[in-house]
Structure 1
Amino acid sequence: MSYPATGPATWFVTGTSRGLGLELIAQLLRRGDNVVATTRSLERLETALGSADRSRLLPLEVDLVDEAAVAGAVEAARERFGAIDVVVNNAGYGFLGAVEEVTDAEARQMFDVQIFGVWNVLRSALPAMRARRSGHIINISSILGLTAFPGWGLYCAGKYALEGLTESLAAEVAGFAVNVTLVEPGYTRTDFLRGSSLGLPSSTVDGYDAIREMTKTHLAMPGTQLGDPVKAATAIIGVAVSGKAPMHQLLGSDSYGLAKARIESLTNDVEAGRELAFTTDVPHA
């Protein structure tokens, strides 16, 4: 059983000072659960929470790329609340730019947050979950972890990597009764497409006019997205409480539609390449 049948659960959530992460911990605190909330800015988190009851909150300012700092945060969580029941790797940001425009530093920073930060949390949290044979890892991916669009290459690269990491992890820890779920939202009405959460290339390349236009469209999008962050956070809690979600849990009808289109496109590609694929086998004796 990954979620306690009685009493408060203890959640360890990253990226909590804005957007989906903030809404998630606010709902968890209202439920009466214990919440360990990591952020890059405690001041921003405290301001965002306003008058929320903090009696079951452990806010921690943590650089997720710092392995020792992450290990210290997980230990602090155990000292305050005991066992961690649910880990939600939510920290992240968007990036809009052509693949050619992304610098080495920009690419590494994205993977620091989307992959290496997640890996640090997993290394610290999993040993106790395996020993206890209980726990739930929820990695917040995106529909752009399943499909791709021009201008989103860096973000997709990070989310595709997260998807592969998570699927392997799920198979590895299934025998220890640890649940693992990928949550793949579509467009959600958070500040994800605002300057605070969206990176842009330090310099642009002539010729990518369509990407410049797409960037302008996305920067004007906040407030019009289809997804409701309140409902999305409630859904994530439901995933943990029920323990019955599929490996890939889409959120949003837009996410569902894009996933179905991707499956059809990939199936067509597989079948179109079937004849050539079979020519590369070693002949049977």
Structure 2
Amino acid sequence: MPYPTGRPATWFVTGTSRGLGLLLVQQLLQRGDNVTATTRSAERLSDALAGVDTTRLHAVEVDLTDEQAVAGALSATVNRFGQIDVVVNNAGYGFLAAVEEVTDADAREMFDVQIFGTWNVLRAVLPIFRAARSGHVINVSSILGLTSFPGWGLYCAGKYALEGLTESLAAEVADHGVKVNLVEPGYMRTDFLKTHSLGLPNNASDAYPGVRQMTEQHLAMPGSQLGDPAKAASAIISVAASGNPAPLHQILGSDSYGLAKGRVDALLADIEASHALAVTTDIPDAA
């Protein structure tokens, strides 16, 4: 990595007990980097890392919605390793339901993890980064932070919010020497679409047969996804190692790339179609 010099890099990674987060931690430890890994189960993380040298690992069970606990985990990282170089906000989960089927509790829980948990990490780490005039924030979004499908409304809402938060953050902290990236994977062969990782509605409605069909298709998908999560973890390391925050939006997966291009084309068509009415709402001669 171009930074730091003369010592291993120190990473703070959330959501590490399985999937992309786990593979990222494995690769970082194999590189000889320092890692604080937050997880809901330190035991599960330890079991998953069997055979990996964990000398440089600080595994901690943290409720990301607990602001003080998050701040304590970041402070402990500095105390143990001397500094933090890269933060990866990876924690999250999927949820398949029609918008009408999502309860208030479902929605608040999703935003607690994907937005307010991320915000807790950012509030705690940014003073550290600003003081050092260095640091890198990598927020793991999804192609569903750029486009949307029926039945994914809650998950998309969280990822769209993460995208807006991250774009604002990148502009705010650039003058402080802090780099910011979004990573937007497509479908990967992880546990993301298995029932122990995926939220489903408690009361599904008969009014949405298309959503039910889509849900069944996704539950049958594990093992056939295009994306390799180990390669995605390596790509995240490459983003940090480049020392270059451009592009802000880093697409991962050819499926993600194709969907993003399609979304841009559809959005541009909407913008052009809206032009005639848009210009009628100006105050005459205001310009």
TM over 0.5: yes
| Unpaired runs of at least 5, structure 1 | none
| Distance in 2 of aligned mates of 1:14 and 1:235 | 17
Q: List alignment gaps of at least 5 residues for structure 2.
A: none
Q: In structure 1, the residue corresponding to 2:285 is in which secondary structure?
A: coil
Q: 1:58 aligned to 2:54?
A: no
* Structure 2 counterpart SS, 1:3: coil
Kindly indicate whether the alpha-carbon contact (under 8 Å) linking 1:2 and 1:178 is maintained by their aligned counterparts in 2: no
Give the distance between the partners of 1:44 and 1:4, measured in 2 at CA. 31
Q: How far off is 1:2 after superposition?
A: 7.5
Q: Which residue of 2 aligns with 1:241?
A: 241
Q: Would you say the 8 A contact 1:2–1:136 is kept in 2?
A: no
Alignment of 1:239-278 (within 5 A): 239-244=239-244, 245-278=246-279
Task: State the secondary structure of the residue aligned to 1:249.
Answer: strand
- Distance in 2, matches of 1:122 and 1:109, equals 19
Name the structure 1 match of 2:103: 103
8 Å CA contact retained: 1:89, 1:139: yes
1:11 aligns with 2:28: no
User: Aligned residue for 1:280?
Assistant: 281
Question: Does the 8 Å contact 1:2/1:134 carry over to 2?
Answer: no
- 1:192 is paired with a residue whose SS is helix
* Aligned counterpart, 2:23: 23
Q: How many residues align?
A: 285
Give the Cα separation in 2 of the matches to 1:177 and 1:6: 19
1:157 is displaced (CA, Å) by 0.1
Distance in 2, matches of 1:226 and 1:7, equals 36
Deviations 1:15-47 (CA, angstroms, capped at 9, x unpaired): 000000000000000000000000011111111
Identical columns (%): 72
Matched position secondary structure for 2:167: helix
Q: In terms of mean alpha carbon deviation, does 145-154 or 237-246 score higher?
A: 237-246
Cα deviation digits, residues 239-283 of structure 1 (max 9, x gap): 000022410000000000000000000000000000100000010
Deviation of the 1:6 alpha carbon:
3.7
Deviations 1:138-194 (A, max 9, x none): 000000000000000000000000000000000000000100000000000110001
Distance 1:212 1:6 in 2: 54
Q: Is residue 137–residue 180 contact of structure 2 (8 Å, CA) maintained in 1?
A: yes
Aligned match of 2:209? 209
Alignment of 1:78-97 (within 5 A): 78-97=78-97
1:182-227, Cα deviation, whole Å (9 max, x unpaired): 0000000110001121100111111211110110110111111000
- Which runs of at least 4 in structure 1 moved beyond 6 Å after TM superposition? none
Amino acid at match of 1:31: R
Match of 1:34 in 2: 34
Letter of the structure 2 residue corresponding to residue 154 of structure 1: L
Q: String of CA shifts for 1:77-119, please: whole Å, max 9, x gaps.
A: 0010011000000000000000000000000000000000000
Residue 3 of structure 1, CA deviation: 2.8
Partner of residue 158, structure 1: 158
